[in-house]
Amino acid sequence: MNRSFLFAIDTKTEEVIVSESPKGSATINFIERIKRSDNDMIFNAVQTLTSITKSTNFDTVIFKLTDKVCQAMYQKHKENQ
């Protein structure tokens, strides 16, 4: 099954918050927190994803492409653990 993850940045702790929401559900399930020091690359990618959402020229295509990068980085992170 192909899972789709949700990402957020906790700026106080410098961690990526990873969660998921089953299709058609309003429920969000927490998965884990990843410290910036444990995976700086995914932290920076999620930070970029977050900044895209705040842009006055929001572009859905760019957002979706960046989200795919974050998804792939997270999958690789899990494989390397």
Conformational region of residue 7, where left means phi above 0, alpha means psi within -120 to 50, and beta covers everything else: beta
**pLDDT tens digits, one per residue of 5-59:** 999 999 999 999 999 988 888 889 999 999 999 999 999 999 999 999 999 999 9
The helices-and-strands tally (H runs, E runs) of the chain is: 2, 3
Question: In 3D, which of 24, 27, 5, 3 has the Cα closest to residue 16?
Answer: 5
Q: Which domain covers residue 35, as residue numbers?
A: 5-79
If one counts the domains in the chain, the total is 1
At residue 35, the 3 state secondary structure works out as: strand
Question: In 3D, which of 5, 3, 11, 1 has the Cα closest to residue 51?
Answer: 11
**pLDDT tens digits, one per residue of 26-41:** 889 999 999 999 999 9
Answer yes or no: are the C-beta atoms of 74 and 5 closer than 8 Å: yes
